[in-house]
Structure 1
Amino acid sequence: MQLVVARIGRAHGIKGEVTVEVRTDEPELRLGPGAVLLTDPASAGPLTIESGKVHSGKLLLRFEGVRDRNAAEALRNTLLIAEIDPEELPEEEDEYYDHQLMDLDVVLADGTEIGRITEISHLPSQDLFIVERPDGTELMIPFVSEIVTEIDLEEQRAVIDPPPGLIDDRAEIVSSRDAEDAESGEDA
């Protein structure tokens, strides 16, 4: 199983260090010295982390064989990918790896089917489930405990309690808006 753990940013200094945008909750495990990471594009790697440090709130990494600013800058926007055992679980009980959540059925507490998780988007403020609905449309569900009330890996489902408006059918919203416009005499 492969997991994107970081994206390489710009070069830092003249000795081959790069800034990285961390995309894992376990950077100390995935981005430590000696870690060998695959890359996307594959032509950039694999890369072995030689050293790392935090500078001004950003993680800086140096890779074996990358000794100057030009070599570091050539790696910009490269994704760093870790190989992980599919049976490996996060340390915390209420944490999940993306591969555990992919393809889970999303349902309401009463069992009403909403769709299936097709992607997890990691934003700075929160993670989002990208859910494909049965009609092929996509829906974004914030992965926060107030909305995602249960993850049941055995049953392969995520139970949600959405606030009003989060999963309303767009067709119903559009048709009700059209009906209101027709009543008021406005053109849609």
Structure 2
Amino acid sequence: MNKKKLAAFAAVAVLFGALGAYLGVKKQPQGPVTTAIAPTGGPAHSASTHLYAQSLNDLAGKTESLDKWKGKPLLVNFWATWCAPCVQEMPELSALADEEAGKRFNVIGIGIDSPSAMSEFAAKHNIKYPLYVGGMGGTELSRGFGNPSGGLPFTVLIGADGQVKKTYLGKLKFDELKADLAAL
């Protein structure tokens, strides 16, 4: 390849790199994408039914059936230790779960991560709600709730009737979440 062609390719690469950097800086940060799913007025949402049919390991390696969470509103948070927004929201989510202590609703986390990374994180950050190891199967569970890309964090609010009341993609806005919880 001659020097002129090499210089032309380098110039094009620099131009696209600069354009990408410019667009990345100009993009405004967005809050979570929320979706309300209309209740069917009948049986539980199929994704909820599928969730409650699962048995996942807790951080101690004990297999637990998720059907024990049926019958009371449930907030399910899909997360990973390598996901910065997940890590940022977890202390506040843990404080909310600790404050509530299961009186009106329960909070669980399904980690898309390794058991060792999750255990280390939970101990370091004193997470107060039950965490389950979902692995890549956790991503599939979140897709059933309307998260086709498997983005994290992804949180699902399920009513006591098993109906999906709302989903949140991205870092939670806790004022909005508390209002949604109060409306249950």
Name the one with the larger helix percent.
2
When normalised by structure 1's length, the TM-score is 0.21
Higher relative contact order, structure no. (Cα contacts within 8 Å, ≥ 6 residues apart): 2
Name the one with the larger strand percent.
1
When normalised by structure 2's length, the TM-score is 0.21
